[in-house]
Amino acid sequence: MSKLAILCVDDETIILNSLRRQLRRAFSDKYVYESAESADEAFEIIQEFEEEGSDVIVIVSDWLMPGMKGDEFLSKVHQDHPRVVKILLTGQADEEAISRAQEQANLHQYLTKPWKSDELVNCIRSGLEAIQAQI
């Protein structure tokens, strides 16, 4: 049976740990919760899931990260995985980056840091419902 995963990408471990706790509290064991500290690490995780026959269905990404900004990362993900729900969670993205992510990555939503847990959970739920409606 394939697993469904939510992938959080942020260069700050404390943010990743907080996201994982909040998601586990909200969704229990319905999903696998993965985290990556860079876009490169996230691409490796996505590939590992594909090789297992499993899917990353939601990506929550920071914008300001070393190596590759979040809008570029989400755009690259979108090229191969257009149905993944993509959420930008950051306090530092500029309007141009958000616009690029909306246009090039089909960004589901942009949330600012600090975020409210219920706002994030509702955002993920609405993204998953939108994907289900397309099936």
Q: Which whole number is the average pLDDT over 26-50?
A: 97
Higher pLDDT pick, 1 / 46: 46
CATH number of 4-134: 3.40.50.2300
CB 60 within 8 A of CB 101: no
Each residue's pLDDT tens digit, 65-110: 999 999 999 999 999 999 999 999 988 878 999 999 999 999 999 9
Q: Is the pLDDT of residue 1 over 60?
A: no
Q: Is 19 exposed, middle or buried (0-12, 13-18, 19+ CB in 10 A)?
A: buried
CB 43 within 8 A of CB 72: no
> Which long-range contacts (C-beta less than 8 Å, at least 24 apart) are formed by 65-71?
65/9, 65/10, 65/11, 65/38, 65/39, 66/11, 66/38, 67/38, 67/39, 67/40, 68/38, 68/39, 68/40, 69/97, 70/9, 70/39, 70/97, 70/101, 71/97, 71/98, 71/100, 71/101, 71/104, 71/105
Predicted pLDDT of residue 135 = 59
Domain boundaries, the chain: 4-134
Predicted pLDDT of residue 2 = 75
